């Protein structure tokens, strides 16, 4: 038995308010340019349950310390610019954390969304984590008008593991910036 559960976590949940405020400013500008009402923004994460254990798959920024093994870090990537990534403050990490902590899971809108109960699909997803392309967070390196971020990583993994990505939508009245970048990168086979 197994499961892949997706969490739609309000941007900035459980934080100091800095991320939430910046998200609101970003969404306000984006909505105004698109001539629409602002929407709620979401950060996504996964929990994969397998007979071998429970795994948290999440992208975090900044990388808090050099002890990446303790958090199951599988990939590190640059934030804003590759040249800046020499400093930990400008690196994000993609975690494949056995028995890890998903700190804001309780704040996920609608609780976990079950995507699959197939353990082979769960294993396939976990096998892909180390292959996530370390594109620059906050940039549109794919040229599709969507920036790479934590949502890109999750949508990339879901697409690469064969889940019906087009049927997966954020909660009503919300959006997940970066989601499309991950889908496009996975379908193109981008590095």
Whether residue 167 has pLDDT greater than 70:
yes
Q: CA–CA separation, 82 vs 148, rounded Å?
A: 13
Q: CA–CA separation, 159 vs 95, rounded Å?
A: 18
Strands 73-78 and 113-116: unpaired
* Measured CA distances, 63 to 90, 95, 101, 113 (Å): 8, 11, 15, 27
Element of type H or E holding 2: none
pTM: 0.93
**Residue 131 contacts residue 157 (beta carbons within 8 Å):** no
Per-residue pLDDT, averaged over 146-161, amounts to 96
Whether residue 16 has pLDDT greater than 60:
yes
Q: Using the 8-state DSSP alphabet, how is residue 89 labeled?
A: G
pLDDT (0 to 100) of residue 61? 83
What is the per-residue pLDDT across 59-101, written as a single tens digit (0 to 9) for each? 988 778 888 898 999 999 999 888 888 888 889 999 999 999 9
Q: What is the mean pLDDT of the chain?
A: 92
Q: Is the peptide bond before 62 cis (omega within 30 degrees of 0)?
A: yes
Give percent above pLDDT 70 in the chain. 98
């Amino acid at each position: 038995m197994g499961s892949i559960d997706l969490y739609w976590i309000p941007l900035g949940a459980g934080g100091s308010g800095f991320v939430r405020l910046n998200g609101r400013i970003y969404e306000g500008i984006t909505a105004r340019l698109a001539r629409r009402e602002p929407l709620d923004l979401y950060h996504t994460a996964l929990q994969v349950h397998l007979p071998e254990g429970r795994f948290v798959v999440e992208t975090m920024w900044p990388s808090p310390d050099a002890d990446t093994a303790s958090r199951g870090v599988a990939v590190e990537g640059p934030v804003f610019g590759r040249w800046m990534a020499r400093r930990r403050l400008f690196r994000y990490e993609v975690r494949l954390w056995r028995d890890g902590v998903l700190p804001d899971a309780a704040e996920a809108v609608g609780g976990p969304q079950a995507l699959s109960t197939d353990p082979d699909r769960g294993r396939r997803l976990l096998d892909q984590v180390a292959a996530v392309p370390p594109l620059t967070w906050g940039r549109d390196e794919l040229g599709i008008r969507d920036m790479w971020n934590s949502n890109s990583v999750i949508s990339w993994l879901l697409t690469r593991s064969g889940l019906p990505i087009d049927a997966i939508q954020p909660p009503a009245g919300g959006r997940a910036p970066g989601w499309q970048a991950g889908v496009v990168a996975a379908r193109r086979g981008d590095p």
